[in-house]
Structure 1
Amino acid sequence: MCKRYMGVISMLLLSFHEKLHLAFAVLSLTGGSSGVAVADVTIDACVAQNSINHPSLASDMQSLCALSSSIGALVGFSISGIFIHLIGPKGVDGLLAIPAGLVFLVGTLLNEPHSPNFAYTQVVRQNFIDARKSMWTTLKCPDVWRPCLYMLH
């Protein structure tokens, strides 16, 4: 729940604070980015879960998410300069609070079933062990990690 607030608070703080110290501004932008990253990971987890339930649609769901993200980025980059000239940087930060607020609203309205007798500790521990084994298996295969080095360069 705290991560949902982070994006809204950071954008509003940048928008309304007159003389914000540089360290707090960087911290606020970092918080906003982490809020977006959490939303991104949540969507990826939903796509992964639905891919398990509907394997024939897995590639279509991933393509749709990538397409939506790319279109959103292109539209955002295209109009960001125009909005900075029209309403200024603080206005743009205030405008960026709207998507963060919508993510918060959706996260609040989603109804997840509660399982009171679920053994979270055992499941988390086993998932961590499985993830560690999978990561080690992946790292042993240079065909997988070598392209990542080219992307970082």
Structure 2
Amino acid sequence: MKRNKKYLISTLLMVLTLSIGLLGCTKAKTEANKVESKKDYNYYTAEQLKKSIETKEDIIILDIQVKEEYDKHHIKGAMPTYAYPVKSDEDKKKLENVLEKLEGSKPIVIVCPKGGGGAENTHKYLTEKKISKDRLYILEKGQAAWPYEELLEK
């Protein structure tokens, strides 16, 4: 009986150890996939965008913040869409309304609240509408991390 108990406990510990190890591998794989997916996007830092604005580079700043947030603060010259989070058909319709203004070859910098999912959704939608990935950029960390007060409109 004692021997069976020891065998059972040792088997359970081995199964638990293997499960924890597999869970760790799955988590590491998930993190690697997140990093890999970030490679699918081009990014602009706040400093790069500031320089582009100051040198009057011919770019489009496409702001997807909701109206209330856009009205509180947005980067000078930004084109409002109020499309955040670009998940619903209604959100996508808001982007559809500005598609004509996005034609051409100018770089497009997508500004969303934090530079994450909403910007990625916008990127995906715009590429589906045949806008070249080479023209699309996401503002790193979004509007929330914009440090240049002098380039804000309120």
Choose 1 or 2 for highest CA Rg.
2
Output the TM-score relative to the length of structure 1. 0.24
Return the structure number with greater helix share: 1
Between Structure 1 and Structure 2, the one with more strand by share is: 2
Higher relative contact order structure (alpha carbons within 8 Å, sequence separation ≥ 6) = 1
